[in-house]
Amino acid sequence: MTRRPVESSRPTHTRTTPPPPTTEPTSACQGAVVHVIDVANDELALVPALCVATGAVLRIEHIGPGEVTNDSPDLVEQRYEAGIVQIRMIRPGTVVVTIVQNGTPHDITVVVR
């Protein structure tokens, strides 16, 4: 003899409201992107610290030779050509890039993951 399940006369309810948002932080790190800073138009004091993946490039435009330095030449490849400095992040770590704008040095911290 087999028993059949008893059916309830109550309707079943499904959740119609979305679940609450998670409180886990999202990653602020960008991928292997090209981040452009235009020294002629951007206020360097307002440029935030960056978090990028290995392979990312910091491209600094409208800058003279010798006006961009970094404190970690073992973590980056930096080159200058025709008013543009390109800094490729080749290893994980933290790099401080110093850009001179109108005679004032500005430090930008770049965390490379």
Whether the per-residue pLDDT at 4 is higher than 70: the answer is no
Whether the per-residue pLDDT at 13 is higher than 80: the answer is no
pLDDT at 19: 46
pLDDT at 2: 62
pLDDT at 18: 45
* Residues linked to residue 78 through DSSP beta bridges, in sequence order: 87
Q: Following DSSP, what letter does each residue of 24-68 receive, concatenated? A: SPPP----S-EEEEETTTS-GGGPPPEEE-TT-EEEEES--TTSE
Mean of pLDDT values over 47-56: 95
pLDDT at 8: 54
Write out the two tokens for 15.
Answer: 């959740």
